[in-house]
């Protein structure tokens, strides 16, 4: 089974950076996952994001100046929820700031 890496970032400001990371992951012959690759999903983004992180073998967080979409219930961005899930799962993680 091929390892998968969940790539987390805000999309509007970091799209180019995210694409470069996805390309690098593909060159390593790993699968990359990110919310922007999925169309309509059966659950809310707040439910789907952590599920997708849990299905990955590693996590890459790309952070910039935007906080991203905020879940009204938790008051946290989806990017923060993804990061917290990766840390709770103790996934090997790489973080970078643009």
**pLDDT beyond 90 at 32:** yes
- The percent helix, strand, coil of the chain (3-state, each to 5) is 40, 20, 35
Provide the percentage of residues in the chain whose pLDDT is more than 70: 96
pTM of the predicted model, to two decimals? 0.88
* Nearest-angstrom CA–CA distance, 9 and 25: 15
Q: What residues does 58 pair with on adjacent strands?
A: 5
* Nearest-angstrom CA–CA distance, 65 and 49: 21
* Nearest-angstrom CA–CA distance, 55 and 28: 19
**pLDDT beyond 80 at 23:** yes
Among the ranges given (8-12, 58-62, 87-91), the one the predictor scored with the smallest mean pLDDT: 8-12
Model confidence pLDDT, tens digit, residues 37-58: 666 677 787 888 889 999 999 9
């Amino acid at each position: 089974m091929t390892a998968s890496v969940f790539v987390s970032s805000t999309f509007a400001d970091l799209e180019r950076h995210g694409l470069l990371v996805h390309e690098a992951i593909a060159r390593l012959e790993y699968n990359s996952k990110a919310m922007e690759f999925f169309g309509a999903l059966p659950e809310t983004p707040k439910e789907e994001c952590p599920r997708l992180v849990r299905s990955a073998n590693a996590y890459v967080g790309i952070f910039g100046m935007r906080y991203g979409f905020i879940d009204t219930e938790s008051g946290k961005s989806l990017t923060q929820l993804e990061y917290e899930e990766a840390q709770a799962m103790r996934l090997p993680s790489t973080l970078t700031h643009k």
